[in-house]
Amino acid sequence: MVIPADHVFADQRRWGGIPSIVNVVAGLPMLGVSAWGARALWRNKAWPATMRSPWLAFFVLSALMSITASIHHLDPSDSGYALVHAFAAGALLMLGLAFMTERVDALFGSVPSIIGGLAVAGCATLWWFAGQWASGHGDLRALLFFECLPLLLIPAGALSLDGRHTMASDWVVTLGLYLVARAAGLGDSVLYGATEGLSGHTLMHLLLAASAACLAYRASVASGSLSARPVAIGEPTQSMTSLNTSS
């Protein structure tokens, strides 16, 4: 069987008959981090339900991405590759909704909003499968767009919109690690040759887990609203920036 170039990673080491063992194992920390985050949200009573919902959806989709990525390394396939991106796109969309829920309007964390976000990711996934069925070449661009979209929206507001339960630094560190992770993935072979053992793809998995761990940590130490602190004159607040102008 000829494996497509998209599925060939620099580290192909086997152990005990298991192919790409390092990448298989490297994908599992995200599963542990997602379980930590989900458990923290379950116990978190300081945040409103509308805020916890998109965060929980993010951790669930991140866990599914972790499992799918490890399975993909065991048995590379086009459909497995697309599903990894599908769960990643869904997770990033939920992260965007989580940010907007806290800093713009609680409606972004409502059930219809979450279902809508999941439906958008689902349609992008179906687009890939339709292209794969019709021509043998699925189009990943829609999924990649949704993976990148929250990265463009969140930094634009993280330092200016008032957060009630998270700090701007939470988002900056999380997204910074995510960007470094994706850059490491692009430099897979280069890093593997330079380090003689650690590939860029392996490092990407570990950095993605570290990125999600920042959010899991914030959820686990939540003790109340950060808005209890004094607001500086001229500092934007959620009510000032809300898209809900009915009031």
Which pLDDT does position 193 carry in this prediction? 84
User: Which pLDDT value is given to residue 9?
Assistant: 78
Whether 126 and 202 have beta carbons less than 8 Å apart is answered as no
Domains of the chain: 23-219 (1.20.1070.10)
Report pTM. Answer: 0.84
> Could you tell me how far CA 87 lies from the centroid of its own chain?
8
CA 129 to each of CA 18, 71, 80, 135: distance values in angstroms, whole numbers, following the listed order: 28, 19, 11, 10
Q: Mean pLDDT of residues grouped by 10 in the chain (247 residues)? A: 55 79 91 95 88 95 95 87 94 94 92 95 93 86 89 76 85 92 89 85 94 93 57 41 42
